[in-house]
Structure 1
């Protein structure tokens, strides 16, 4: 980028130099407007003069009427939920009823979001789906403390007076406007009224002696009616906007929950990508490096046989023999390394991989796998290495005589249960001063990384039972 010194004359407008300078001038881009990811606004404009004749005005009018129709039932549901929760706090099982009512408030939220989409021109994203917790207390806690459910309950309470006020003012402005504009037509059928001076009048009265029964007053009332009719969409627009804000704030997801969901999706994609990358590395090692080492080992074996049948220096024969033995050891180590990266048996499914693992174990291992469970490949890998590590612990540390492995699907989770009859005493220990940690601690961290749970029950004398819950998919 060139700089202009004070001694250089500036190009005058209209000259070729000025045109070239204008072409090379860089205009900074306008910063993009970051939209709220919780909703999409599809509202049309609401002009003041054409307001009563727009689709938006009548859609918002229909929303306020429908909101008033639902408001008493919605308020009754919200108050019933709060009262049932307060009344059943002394119980335990009864709290599931209150929790069910809290979860049911999500249905009310879906109803109002649908109304807002069709009548208010705003599409609000649904809250993050509730996860099905396992266990009595976890399930109860997830129901009673469901954030979207409680926000929906608050919405039902707050919008009750808003629905009444919006309905009353909307109808007041609309009816007043239409009535004042058409007063000159229907006022002739009004009953006669006597003024204070004894005269009789037919028409709307304001006070004791002011009647709308002259052409000038009729025209003035028509103008007042036009003004009320023009103000009607604007007044109801304010109430509709309040409903929009409440729907977005209370019935949509929070920005934090959306961020967490995006991070979970990103984490799941990274886990799937990492698993796919490990599979490729294992295949490359098996089909490339290992195959070449096998070929080298075969060639060294042939060279060794030829050298032994001929009169060759014994040192050369020993050298080739050592190279042959080292190559075979490298092949064995490479196979173990590839198996540790990704067991080839997992390509045939978790059941086959665990059966293969059991067959290679020095302990009797009984495997019971639910054939209908179809977890994601990344979850299968984590499940396999959990079982492999637990079986290894039973062999090396527990002094067990047998291991039982159960794999089954529970809802949206994959449940692993590994039991051995060893001496017990297994525990998840914290890392020491040098950062070393136990194998169980590493497994627990790996399971928690995908929102799983890892529980160990290992009393002194045994048995040791490890229960692992994994999501069926980490990228959904």
Structure 2
């Protein structure tokens, strides 16, 4: 949530736009609050009264979900008048089937929280409006008192004297000294008014943040859904790339080898062994190149080094890296063995970060630290490059580079943290669960 945070001095508070915007918000909220409270009470009454009928439950569930509309209305009021930004809650997802659909309506936490806001904000809005209006009207009345007190009806004091002005018992405000005191009191109340009113608007902002925005659980669910969608998209892209490599490269080479063998067979039948031998040599070389390509593709699917564990795979990766890579693996990292999916993600994460350090960061060295504790695997990859790395997409909705790594890590409920100030160093910390089972 973001709010109006500009500093307002005591001397200028009554004349600032923010102050009058807050007072305008109380006016608007007061106009809406009775209808919101009536909707909330009607929802409770209908849901409880018609619970014995299935149709009644659908009506009540629809009204609970309708609370989302009231939440959107109040978020809009807070945003337009108080510049308070409250994140939108996740969209409503109706369950499939009759009973699941009914349960999703009646169990819509966003709708119930919006109804709760309508209930608890009503007294705060009414009291805040009344107190604020009393303060500002009293202040303005006292300040302008010298201009209109002469038109008040005359009143007789206890001693029989007559006075024209406001009175507090037998104390009449009709002398220059008393009028000056009243004006001073009005000015003081005017300057206190914004701060008293702000107590109520801040309370309404807090209630809005707590009840009208998404919960941490909802945000986490939405994040997991997005990361899992990204992981599915990434897996699909990798499968398509493998299919393309096999079709355009390996398959074409194998077709060429078959054609060369057929041609060599024809030369042998025609009595030209020299030509057949040359074709067979070419086919043999092509077959060896095809085997090498297949090994590279297989390594991209699952590195053979992972068969011996993550520690061996990372040390093998460091030995083949285009720049010096030191790997520090704490004792007990593979006791017991990590889940295969965790090992694969950890390996590819380190491999991608090492490649980025060499290609984009102009790094001279990379240090990898691997630790395991409390059911999590922690990877730290540090390079001495120029820094400035950021997580961005490719602009087409696909996750590439660091964004792809982050999506892959979060797909198994991991954490990805990047620290890369300009000038370096770049430090990426990845935390993964040691098992993908809940």
- Length-normalised TM-score, structure 1: 0.57
Match in the other structure for 2:133: 171
Once superposed, which parts of structure 1, at least 4 consecutive aligned residues long, lie more than 6 Å away? Answer: none
Instruction: Please say which structure displays the higher CA radius of gyration.
Output: 1
Kindly provide the CA deviation profile for residues 266-308 of structure 1, in whole angstroms up to 9, marking residues without a partner as x: 2211211211111011011111011001101111111122223
Counterpart secondary structure, 2:55: coil
Of the structure 1 ranges 168-177 and 124-133, higher mean CA displacement relative to structure 2 is found in 124-133
- Within-5 A mapping of 1:136-285: 136-207=98-169, 209-285=170-246
Structure 1 residue 287 and structure 2 residue 251: aligned?
no
Per-residue CA deviation, residues 363-408 of structure 1 (Å, 9 max, x unaligned), is xxxxxxxxxxxxxxxxxxxxxxxxxxxxxxxxxxxxxxxxxxxxxx
Q: Give, in angstroms, the shift of residue 93 of structure 1.
A: 2.6
Query: In 2, Cα distance between the equivalents of 1:47 and 1:114?
Result: 27
Cα distance in 2 for partners of 1:137, 1:158 equals: 31
Q: How many residues align?
A: 288
CA deviations on 1:301-324 (whole Å, 9 max, x unpaired) are 111222234397xxx99xx8xx99
Provide the C-alpha distance between the structure 2 equivalents of 1:125 and 1:311, rounded to a whole number of angstroms: 79
SS in 2 for 1:253: coil
- Match for residue 73 of structure 2 among 101, 105, 111: 111
- SS for the counterpart of 1:213 is coil
1:124 match: 86
- d(CA) in 2 for partners of 1:263 and 1:311? 66
**SS of structure 2 residue aligned to 1:128:** coil
1:454 equivalent in structure 2: none
Per the TM alignment, residue 42 of structure 1 is displaced from its structure 2 partner at its CA by 3.5
Whether the 8 Å contact between 1:52 and 1:230 is mirrored in structure 2 is yes
Tell me the equivalent position of 1:96.
58
Distance of 2:41 and 2:50 partners within structure 1 = 14
SS of the residue corresponding to residue 123 of structure 1 reads coil
Structure 1, unaligned runs of 5 or more: 1-38, 342-448, 451-476
Q: Distance in 2 between matches of 1:105 and 1:199?
A: 62
Give the whole-Å Cα distance in 2 for the aligned partners of 1:311 and 1:226: 115
SS in 1 for 2:184: helix
Conserved 8 A contact 2:149-2:164 = yes
RMSD over equivalenced CA pairs, Å: 2.6
How many Å apart are 1:118 and its aligned residue? Answer: 1.1
Matched, 1:135 2:105: no
The 5 Å alignment of 1:9-88 reads 39-88=1-50
TM-score of the aligned structures, taking structure 2 as reference length: 0.62
Shift of 1:134: 1.8
Q: Deviations over 1:415-456 (max 9, x none)?
A: xxxxxxxxxxxxxxxxxxxxxxxxxxxxxxxxxx99xxxxxx
Structure 2 unaligned residues grouped into runs of 5+: 302-410, 413-438
Report the 3-state secondary structure (helix = DSSP H, G, I; strand = E; otherwise coil) of the residue aligned with 2:2. Answer: strand
